[in-house]
Amino acid sequence: MKESNPATEPIGQNIIKLISNLCFSVFVFSVLIITVIAITYQPPDPWLESAPALTKLFTDSENATFKDDNSVLTTGEDLPLAPAVSPVSSGFAVITESVIAKAEAEVSNSTNSTLSDGLNCEDLERVNCSDPRALIAVERFNLRIFKNIVFLEYQTPVNGSKADECDVLWKFRNKKEKSWRKYRDFRRFKLGFGVNCTYKVVHAGRWHSGINARRARRISSNGTRGGGKARSTPPIRDEQINDTIPSLGSDKNFRRGRYLYYSRGGDYCKGMNQFQWSFLCGLGEAMYLNRTFVMDLSVCLAGSYTLSNKDEEGKDFRYYFDYEHLKETASIVDEDEFLQDWKKWDQSHKRKVPIKKVASHKVTPMQLKKERSTIIWRQFDGPEPENYWYRVCEGQAAKYVQRPWHALWKSKRLMNIVTEISGRMDWDFDAVHVVRGEKAQNKQLWPHLDYDTSPEMLLNKVKTMVQPWRNLYIATNERFYNYFDKLRSQYKVHLLDDYKELWSNTSEWYNETSNLNNGRPVEFDGYMRVEVDTEVLYRAKTRVETFHNLTADCKDGINTC
């Protein structure tokens, strides 16, 4: 009998062993790759999923710094997928056709009895503005003309300057605004009579033409209206704005609280987009830790926004953002109030307030989750970019800390200017966003931008997208006012500087911001201009964008499209 020799084993068995070893190696390698991906993967901020432009703007930044033209500014109320607030939950009754029909039915019986007595429309000598049918006629007219407006409430019409005129005031919001802030308009209507003595609108006045319906301003002791040092009482302000700074109250309230305190870091005096990105990181960490965020209301405005071209400190956060909405949405305390209460406690108690000092952004929010100290004090003393606030939310922290974009809205005072500009164009306008400034001069990154946004090319391209003689608003960082004169040959051109009286020393905005600034005038700076330009742009029926419609250059420079 022959003995078996291992060296002469069948070739098939060797091949099977080789394949099995190879498959096992592939399996182990695949598990290793999946494990690495699972550890390093960082899901995107869910709030930024609703704003791809913001995501691209911030995540594409080089060397932890921000490079953008700041020509468009987006905040929480502009996010396309922000959860809409229903009129019912907001406590507002929306005026619709069904609401008008119900009101009309309620007054129909009295109308029919009047007609049964043989009264003709000609027998009515003049319009009765207090007649409910007059308001119904105005409501129907407004719904037919102003398609982009949600009407929330009307006041009873009052007499205009003539017998057939009525002045009417209403509160509304724009459908393109995600917030449920209310605005007001008051117009003068010329009324006549239609079928069965019903009222009809013969002519409607322009924005804010119904001056008799507007609540009277307070008069100063010397009989003057508006601003000025002689004013003894402030002018009537927007009742929706509440800029009061909340107080912690007693020492007990301070000691019971839990606070997250950020020292001033390298973000100070940087661009406002970086300010937002960093501020919302801190606020998001405070929400994650279930703590009150200590907030510095003093903002440093970067030189790119100022007339002096130098960084300017001491700007009030409330000039630019809606502080009232922020207070309602997040737990915050003013830094000055916080430091005063902290000092009072330490002076009046032997036991000092427990503090946890955090020297590096590398200490993650997850590591601080179980911290029981009254104050977590993050200190940003390192060199740039290590001392940027937003570094706290990088890496693993991005999985846990969500930036609360919904908490940050633009200032209601600036939004009132936006509404005024849009209303003066009767909410029926188109807009062109023209980015020029420093970008147009940088031929290396934007070789065609200057030529593509030249007056001749602008006119040629806009003509293909906007009908002639439409209201055309131009949102731009071009400083030369007459640069767009060629467009005036075919359009009713509107620029922000056409509305300077809205922030002049006789304006409501001027008086209210001066009150915030201890009576000193506030400059209508470049950042405010960007905010207003952006919001008017959003309300246009047709929007022409620089980097989508006007030029083939990439928004962030060559080879970045």
For residue 521, whether the previous peptide bond is cis, meaning omega lies within 30 degrees of 0, is no
Q: How much is the pLDDT for 36?
A: 59
Average pLDDT over residues 510-522: 95
Nearest Cα to Cα of residue 158 among 206, 198, 213 = 213
Q: How much is the pLDDT for 152?
A: 92
Confidence of residue 124 (pLDDT cuts 50, 70, 90): low
For residue 24, pLDDT beyond 90 = no
Average pLDDT over residues 377-388: 94
Alpha-carbon span 429 to 422, nearest angstrom: 8
Q: How much is the pLDDT for 77?
A: 82
For residue 308, pLDDT beyond 80 = yes
Q: What is the DSSP string of 423-476?
A: HHTTT--EEEEE--HHHHH-TTT-TTHHHHTSHHHHHHHHHTTS-TT-EEEEEE
Alpha-carbon span 379 to 113, nearest angstrom: 78
Alpha-carbon span 55 to 140, nearest angstrom: 43
Alpha-carbon span 547 to 12, nearest angstrom: 64
Average pLDDT over residues 249-253: 72
Could you tell me the domains of the chain?
Answer: 97-213 (no CATH), 241-407 (3.40.50), 412-550 (3.40.50)
Average pLDDT over residues 58-75: 56
Contacts 24+ apart (CB under 8 A), 314-318: 315/525, 316/513, 316/516, 316/517, 318/243, 318/411, 318/516
Average pLDDT over residues 414-435: 96
Average pLDDT over residues 54-62: 44
Average pLDDT over residues 31-37: 68
Alpha-carbon span 399 to 378, nearest angstrom: 20
Confidence of residue 278 (pLDDT cuts 50, 70, 90): very high
Confidence of residue 179 (pLDDT cuts 50, 70, 90): confident
Alpha-carbon span 109 to 96, nearest angstrom: 22
For residue 235, pLDDT beyond 50 = no
Average pLDDT over residues 113-130: 63
Question: Token pair 């724009």 is at which residue?
Answer: 174
- As a whole number of Å, the end-to-end CA separation of the chain is 79
Q: How much is the pLDDT for 107?
A: 74
Average pLDDT over residues 75-87: 59
- State the DSSP H helix or E strand holding residue 314, giving kind and residue range, or none if neither: strand 312-316
- C-beta atoms surrounding 277 within 10 Å: 22
Its sign, for the CA torsion 20, 22, 23, 29, is positive
Q: Which stretch, 68-82, 125-139, 322-336, has highest mean pLDDT?
A: 322-336
pLDDT in tens, 156-176: 999 999 999 999 999 999 988
For residue 26, pLDDT beyond 80 = no
Question: Token pair 């019903």 is at which residue?
Answer: 198
Considering only the C-alpha atoms of the chain, give the largest distance between any 2 of them, rounded to a whole number of Å.
135
Alpha-carbon span 304 to 310, nearest angstrom: 7
What percent of the chain shows pLDDT beyond 70?
81
Q: How much is the pLDDT for 62?
A: 37
What's the chain's average pLDDT?
Answer: 84
Environment class of 151 (CB within 10 Å of its CB; exposed 0-12, middle 13-18, buried 19+) = buried
Q: How much is the pLDDT for 101?
A: 83
For residue 13, pLDDT beyond 80 = no
Nearest Cα to Cα of residue 410 among 231, 169, 178, 187 = 178
Average pLDDT over residues 228-245: 61
Nearest Cα to Cα of residue 455 among 439, 478, 471, 438 = 478
Confidence of residue 109 (pLDDT cuts 50, 70, 90): low
For residue 82, pLDDT beyond 50 = no
Q: How much is the pLDDT for 333?
A: 95
Nearest Cα to Cα of residue 492 among 516, 524, 469 = 469
What percent of the chain shows pLDDT beyond 90?
62
pLDDT in tens, 444-485: 999 999 999 999 999 999 999 999 999 999 999 999 999 999
For residue 88, pLDDT beyond 50 = no
Q: How much is the pLDDT for 415?
A: 95
Q: Which residue has the higher pLDDT, 441 or 41?
A: 441
Lowest model confidence (mean pLDDT) among 19-33, 122-136, 354-368, 540-554: 19-33
Residue 186's DSSP bridge partners are 169
Question: Are 283 and 293 spatial neighbours (Cβ–Cβ below 8 Å)?
Answer: yes
Q: How much is the pLDDT for 149?
A: 92
Nearest Cα to Cα of residue 267 among 337, 361, 333 = 361
Alpha-carbon span 183 to 413, nearest angstrom: 11
Average pLDDT over residues 397-413: 95
Give me the count of residues in the chain: 561
